[in-house]
Structure 1
């Protein structure tokens, strides 16, 4: 797993797309940071009655990145080996290694980044439920989704080993 030191900063005077993308990247990086230094048992450790664990949240975020950024805009996505509509994206199965899920997240991010860089914010796509949405809306939705789960991961990580914080110290 490779991440850069310090947190991505949203530019104070950047353009709309640049700022939205930087905000998303900031939370994406926090998600990966929450896995650093943990062993396989720790990233899989269920910490809530609903079954929340760090690795499951990363798998879920990869799945929704592909769904919102790629499927919505008719872009290529890799075949999923699980059913996200059955909740299988929220947990890591026995044969799913940490590396496999982190690499899956990396590929989903790269595919989403291509969509973000190639399309204008006003470009329209059709979501999984048939709703017409703009790229701007999807970026905002994914910032919310990623920030929400990064917060969950912060709490789970603190329960595992006491580490806390919303972003890697710079």
Structure 2
């Protein structure tokens, strides 16, 4: 019988190894991103609430795009064909997309990223296509994506509060 490592309410291991702890942190923020969509209709998910046009659904699409780029593309995996140009901020626009398409895209990006994380060590190096000559470790990418996802989850928290007053970084118990 194996003993489950003790974790806090959000799933973070209290004394886990480095890779497990980084992965749990990323998953915590990924889950918060999806939670921010719960209970909202399509119009609310697409409603621009800032002068820059930030929408909840646009941030999910962007995060899916960067998960594919940093985890999969950087480490030589196959990224699914994109129907938008992520280098021209089309990954933030959702006019021609369904909510279902974007949420499923995020799910596929997460699954592909998770496979790369599972198959590699933290010290493995990859090379992002858009950074000529620079190699990055999986450790660096995990930390970067925790930052990126947490940053946008915070944006989503503010947008969601402006829509219906709901706040928080995880689902209430």
- What TM-score, normalized to structure 2? 0.92
Written as runs of structure 1 = structure 2, the 5 A alignment for 1:77-96 is: 77-93=79-95, 95-96=96-97
Contact 1:35 1:54 in 2 (8 A): yes
Structure with more relative contact order (C-alpha pairs < 8 Å, separation 6 or more)? 1
Residues 87-144 of structure 1, C-alpha deviations (whole Å, 9 max, x = no match): 1001212x30000000000000000000000100000000121220000000000000
Which has more radius of gyration?
A: 2
Q: In structure 1, what is the Cα distance between the partners aligned to 2:164 and 2:62?
A: 23
Partner residue, 1:123 = 124
Partner residue, 2:3 = none
Gaps of 5+ in 1: 1-5
Residues 71-94 of structure 1, C-alpha deviations (whole Å, 9 max, x = no match): 00000110110001011001212x
Partner residue, 2:47 = 45
Partner residue, 1:3 = none
Written as runs of structure 1 = structure 2, the 5 A alignment for 1:11-160 is: 11-93=13-95, 95-127=96-128, 128-130=130-132, 131-160=134-163
Calculate the aligned-residue CA RMSD, in Å: 1.2
Q: In structure 1, what is the Cα distance between the partners aligned to 2:147 and 2:70?
A: 13
Q: In structure 2, what is the Cα distance between the partners aligned to 1:36 and 1:133?
A: 35
Residues 1:165 and 2:168 are matched in the alignment = yes
Tell me the secondary structure at the aligned position of residue 41 of structure 1.
helix
Gaps of 5+ in 2: 1-7
How much does 1:9 deviate?
Answer: 1.9
Q: In structure 2, what is the Cα distance between the partners aligned to 1:92 and 1:28?
A: 19
Q: In structure 2, what is the Cα distance between the partners aligned to 1:163 and 1:135?
A: 34
Tell me the secondary structure at the aligned position of residue 165 of structure 1.
coil
How much does 1:7 deviate?
Answer: 6.0
- What TM-score, normalized to structure 1? 0.94
**Number of residue pairs matched by the alignment:** 164
Tell me the secondary structure at the aligned position of residue 99 of structure 1.
helix
